[in-house]
C-alpha cells in the first residue's frame, strides 16, 4: 500500500520510551500529530523538568508544549498503549526492552527510533526487538531529523519501515503532521542499516574537518563512504534504493555536513586533538567497531569504516589513516 494522501485516524495512545533529546522531540511530534503521549524517562529529575515544560539536560532552550505525560514508571507509560516508540541509544536498547517486557501490551507495534548496531553481537536493533518481544510487530523510524529541528517544529521528512508494508504505511500516516512528512517502506533492514552506518561517516566527516584536510577530501570521503554503506547494506539484504533514500543518503547529507550532529562534533574534536570525554552521545563510536568487525568477517571491502574504528580505538592516527587510504591499489570507480 502506498500513501493515499488521506490522514489515518489519530488519537492513539503512544508510549515513548527514552527521555533524551530524540525521545522528547518525538513525544512533541506525536503530540502534534494528534496522539496522547506518555514519555518514560528513567531519571525522575528529567520527568520533573519535562513537567515544568523543558528538558534542559537533553534539549536545552526548547519550550515543551503542554500535553506530554512524563513518568519514570515504565509500567504506567506502557499501560494501554496502542504503539510504543523505543528511543534509548542502540547499546541500551536490549536493557530497556528487557525492563519493558513484562508490561508491554501484546501485539502493538514497537517502533525502533535509535540508530546503531549492537556492539557486542552485531545484531540489528530489529533482531534484538524480535528476540525480547516476539509478539510485537517491529518497525523503524529513521531519516534526516535533528531532535532540535523536530522539537522546534521545523519541516523534515523521515521514513517508517516495517516488513509488513500496510503496517509501515499506517504508522507513517499516523505519525505525519504538518511539518513531519513520513514516507513508508517495507525494507526494514535497509532503513536500519542506513541510519546506523551514516553515524560512522559523520564521525569521519567531522574528523576530516577537524584535521583541516579540506572540503574536497570531505566530499570524496563521504562519497566513498556511501559505497561502503551500500556494500554492507547489500550483504544484509538491504535494497539499494532504500540506501539512496532518507535513511542513508539523506541522513549522510545531514550529519556529514553539520556540527549540529553529535557524531560530526565527536569527529571534529577527534580531528582537532581535543578531549573526547564528556561529549554527548555519538552512536557511531560503537557502531564503527562492530561494522569493521562485520566487514572483516564477511570479507566486505570497507576501508573507511575500518580506519574510523582503528582511529577510535587508538591503533592509528588520522594522518596514518589518510596515508593508507590514499595508497590503496587503484581501481575503477564502479567497482562497487
Ligand atoms: N538526537 C537526535 O537528533 C536524534 C537521535 N536519534 C537516535 O536516537 C537514539 C537516542 O538518542 P538521543 O535521545 O538523542 O540520546 P540522548 O543521549 O539525548 O538520550 C538518551 C536517553 O536514553 C536514556 N537511556 C539510556 N539507557 C536507558 C535504559 N536502559 N533505559 C531507559 N532509558 C535509557 C537516557 O537516560 C537518556 O534519557 C540514538 O540512537 C540516536 O542515534 C535519531 C534521530 C535524531
Ligand atoms: O541522526 C541524527 C539526525 O538524523 C542525529 O545525528 P547525531 O546523533 O549525530 O546528532
According to the CATH classification, is domain 193-326 in 1.20.1250.20? Answer: no
Q: Which three cell numbers stand for residue 227?
A: 559505497
Distance 250 CA to ligand 2 centre (A): 11
Ligand with the closest atom to the CA of 60: 1
Specify which residues 250 forms β-bridges with.
none
Tens of pLDDT, residue by residue over 156-186, are: 999 999 999 999 999 999 999 999 999 999 9
pLDDT of residue 336: 65
- Atom 33 of ligand 1, nearest CA residue: 88
User: Side-chain half-sphere of 76: how many Cα atoms within 13 Å?
Assistant: 10
Give the domain ranges of the chain.
13-186, 193-326
Ligand with the closest atom to the CA of 141: 1
Residue 299 appears among annotated catalytic residues: no
pTM, two decimals, is: 0.97
Tens of pLDDT, residue by residue over 67-85, are: 999 999 999 999 999 999 9
Tens of pLDDT, residue by residue over 256-292, are: 999 999 999 999 999 999 999 999 999 999 999 999 9
Identical fold, 13-186 and 193-326: no
CATH architecture of 13-186: 3-Layer(aba) Sandwich (3.40)
Amino acid at each position: 500500500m502506498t500513501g493515499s494522501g488521506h490522514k489515518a485516524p489519530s488519537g492513539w495512545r503512544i508510549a515513548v520510551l527514552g527521555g533524551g533529546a530524540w525521545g522528547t522531540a518525538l513525544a512533541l511530534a506525536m503530540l502534534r500529530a494528534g496522539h496522547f503521549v506518555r514519555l518514560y524517562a528513567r531519571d525522575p529529575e528529567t520527568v520533573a523538568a519535562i513537567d515544568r515544560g523543558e528538558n534542559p539536560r537533553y534539549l536545552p532552550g526548547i519550550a515543551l508544549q503542554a500535553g506530554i505525560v512524563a513518568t519514570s514508571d515504565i509500567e504506567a507509560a506502557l499501560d494501554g498503549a496502542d504503539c510504543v516508540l523505543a528511543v534509548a541509544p542502540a547499546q541500551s536498547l536490549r536493557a530497556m526492552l528487557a525492563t519493558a517486557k513484562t508490561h508491554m501490551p501484546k501485539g502493538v507495534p514497537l517502533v525502533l527510533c535509535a540508530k546503531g548496531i549492537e556492539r557486542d553481537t552485531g545484531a540489528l536493533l530489529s533482531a534484538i526487538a524480535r528476540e525480547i518481544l516476539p509478539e510485537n510487530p517491529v518497525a523503524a523510524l529513521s531519516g534526516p531529523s535533528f531532535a532540535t529541528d523536530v522539537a522546534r517544529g521545523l519541516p523534515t521528512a523521515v521514513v517508517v519501515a516495517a516488513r509488513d508494508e500496510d503496517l509501515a504505511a499506517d504508522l507513517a500516516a499516523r505519525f505525519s503532521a504538518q511539518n513531519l512528512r513520513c514516507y513508508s517502506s517495507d525494507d526494514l533492514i535497509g532503513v536500519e542499516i542506513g541510519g546506523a552506518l551514516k553515524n560512522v561517516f559523520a564521525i569521519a566527516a567531522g574528523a576530516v574537518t577537524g584535521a583541516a584536510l579540506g572540503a574536497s577530501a570531505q566530499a570524496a570521503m563521504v562519497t566513498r563512504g556511501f559505497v561502503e554503506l551500500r556494500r554492507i547494506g547489500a550483504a544484509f539484504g538491504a535494497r539499494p534504493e532504500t540506501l539512496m533514500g532518507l535513511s542513508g543518503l539523506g541522513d549522510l547529507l545531514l550529519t556529514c555536513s553539520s556540527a549540529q550532529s553529535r557524531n560530526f562534533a565527536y569527529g571534529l574534536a577527534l580531528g582537532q586533538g581535543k578531549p573526547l570525554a564528556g561529549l554527548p552521545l555519538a552512536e557511531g563510536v560503537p557502531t564503527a567497531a562492530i561494522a569493521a568487525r562485520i566487514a572483516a568477517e564477511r570479507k566486505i571491502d570497507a576501508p573507511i569504516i575500518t580506519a574510523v574504528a582503528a582511529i577510535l580505538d587508538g591503533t592509528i592516527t588520522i594522518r596514518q589513516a589518510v596515508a593508507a587510504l590514499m595508497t590503496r591499489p587503484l581501481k575503477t570507480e564502479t567497482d562497487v
